[in-house]
Amino acid sequence: MNSTMAKLLSLLIIALFCNCLTVDPPPPPRLSAPTITHVAIKAMPDYTQAYNEAIFVYWQKNALDEITPSRFEVIRQAVSDSFPTTIKNIPPTHDSIYEFTASFVNLDRTEENTLFYRIFAFDSLGRPGDTSAVCTVSLARTITLIRPGAVLNDPPGNEIFKWEIPEGINRNASHIYLWKSDSLLWESDSVWYYSGGVAKYPEKGLPTHLSPLMKGETYYWAVELSIIDRNYPLSITVSKFYVE
């Protein structure tokens, strides 16, 4: 082979290598939809340590996903909302969130409300995964708490707690909670009532370890409302009183 042919062959080989395209590996599959496992309505202390009603949403990521989520986003929308609300940048290690219902806009608590929750995850490439099925939450109208008022200035009788039962919620079960600071002092047994009228509890007074209540202290109390065919409360109404 003469030198001219050798040069031409070398140039051809160089040209072939220069024209080779670099092929990137295919991206990983997108994340599957997480599953919302259950919801709960509880009373939680806020940043001022005041107790308020909150909705908790719990989920599980898909165990078959080959990659780890980089963050989650939860979408909430009420029937009365024109647009959904998105809760963003939830860390990938979390499997629940809670929201104080007092922060919801356009939520009329004199009526029953239906809320819809969905969740999805983002991967490390910033791609959103599939969205979960809708989880529906029924939020009952708030209960009117009657007694005690803001100040308790006389020794409580046997029926220290009184509240008004909403009309139209038949066979409702209530729990009463009592807190001081961030400690739960007491949770009653289920108290069954029918709709309408005024409920009173307890019939035999507070438990011995709570009686008498300490003067000069602020207590929070709440009535949790459920009905027999739901596996979570419909509402929890919170108030506070000062023992004078």
pLDDT in tens, 190-233: 776 665 667 777 766 677 777 778 889 899 999 888 766 555 66
Are residues 113 and 171 part of one domain?
Answer: no
135 & 153 share domain? no
Grade residue 89 by pLDDT with cuts at 50, 70 and 90: very high
What band does 2 get if pLDDT is binned at 50, 70 and 90? Answer: low
172, pLDDT greater than 70: no
Would residue 16 count as lying in a domain? no
CATH number at residue 170: 2.60.40.10
pLDDT tens for 58-83 read 999 998 888 899 999 999 998 888 88
Q: Identify the domain boundary among 92, 119, 139.
A: 139
Among candidate residues 139, 155, 175, the one where a domain is terminated: 139
Domain finish residue from 116, 139, 162: 139
Number of domains in the chain: 2
Distance CA 85, CA 182 (A): 30
Higher per-residue pLDDT: 84 or 23 = 84
Are both 112 and 164 inside the same structural domain? no
Segments forming the whole domain that contains residue 59: 35-139
pLDDT average, residue stretch 90-106:
91
- Structure confidence by residue, pLDDT tens digits, 134-168: 999 888 877 888 888 898 876 666 567 888 876 76
pLDDT at 171: 55
pLDDT on residue 235: 85
pLDDT reported for residue 204? 62
For 5-57, write each residue's pLDDT tens digit.
666 556 555 554 555 556 677 878 889 999 999 898 889 888 888 899 999 99
Do 177 and 152 lie in one domain? The reply is yes
